Chains A and B, each alone.
Chain A
């Protein structure tokens, strides 16, 4: 009796093993298919980008070049209105050129692999502010930098986040004397929440859902320059890190942009000395 029971068990076990093998094989096949799809999509994006960068620039060059020649050769006959028209044509071409460049940059950022490592946020912010110094020499800006932690993130991309957010803060506080720009961290268990706050013109919170759209702007171009890709880029980067970004603002009072990053402590728990050092720094 025992021998038959044992035989049945073995057959049963073999059947389960075979099923598992088949399941694994089919999963492997699906992964391979998805990977190949992904590679194909990436290829398409590459060629799309190439077209955008190469092919769109050529007609822009022609528009700019020939309107300039028009001005040079026939400017006198054009009268003021005619010359103003040509200026608008050239400005249009130049602006489109900038948008093409920024779209390309945005797309490159989106496709970049995030290379997370232990990053000192304080050092990154200090560096970005230092680089803003030449553009802010004639401005009265009060920088309030709080205690900033270490985080587990891509240093280059994180730097880009601060470049865009701080540039915006500087831009939209143009008429403030002094401009007050704050960078800090707010307490939140399990995540690092950072913010950039300014006392600038702010925006109407009812348009908040447009804030991160590509080329979406909440201010008139003649009031504040910019193509509207800065925040879209920031959002992409934060999302690529698995974080989230949101904003609070009030017209004429200012704006605050919050975003989350992975705290350094969690990943480095397996390095006990490092974890202790980081825990010590958290106050």
Chain B
């Protein structure tokens, strides 16, 4: 784990929501290294070291992805699907952070393998508390997958042998 490893990849298109989320993250001292992607394509480029991110170290993974659903270019659920389908990225926890509490979105999100689904509260104090708990849990309490785990896919046969 390198010193400048990105801890959180925040995928958010709305500029005001972005500012409020960044403010909440900083108010609650959640972490320092936040990478922002403003649409689905940028998120995937970052994660798969493509396009403007082709120089990025492919062995470096964020500890957490905060994913909004309604994104331009590539939709949030599609981003989720690609993340969870690829062995290089499928182990990174993805927390869906969205306005929507539509059942369809939740069903799809969970089916595609989201680790958590959070509806952004309207009240900013509540939002900050939510972000604080999120950050604390996923960055401090939760043990991220160790590097060797990324070397093989989830359904690789040898993972089941022991």
Contact = CB atoms under 8 A, between A and B. Distances in A.
Given A58-B14, A97-B122, A97-B123, A65 B100 contact: no
Nearest to A55: B99
Q: Main SS of the interface on chain A?
A: helix
A50 B70 CA distance: 12
B20 A65 contact: yes
Contacts of A97: 122-123
Contacts of B17: 58, 61-62
Given A64-B124, A93-B122, A58 B99 contact: yes
Interface string A62-90: 10111011000000000000000000000
A190 B127 CA distance: 53
Contact of A61 (B23, B70, B102, B124): B124
Interface residues of B, number: 17
A54 interface: yes
A227 B16 CA distance: 28
Contacts of B102: 50, 53-54
B157 interface: no
Interface string B44-70: 000000000000000000000000001
Contacts of A54: 70, 99-100, 102
Interface in B107-161: 120-125, 127
Contacts of A61: 16-17, 20, 99, 120-122, 124, 127
B101 interface: yes
Contacts of A180: none
Interface residues of A, number: 17
Interface string A89-131: 0000110010000000000000000000000000000000000
A65 B27 CA distance: 13
Given A62-B16, A65-B20, A53 B100 contact: yes
A123 B16 CA distance: 49
A62 B101 contact: no
B146 to A, nearest CB: 37
Contacts of B100: 50, 53-54
Q: Which of A50, A57, A61, A93 has the most CB of B within 10 A?
A: A61
A242 B160 CA distance: 58
Contacts of B125: 68
B99 A57 contact: yes
A227 to B, nearest CB: 14
Could you say which of B14, B16, B127 has the most chain A C-beta atoms within 10 Å of its C-beta?
B16
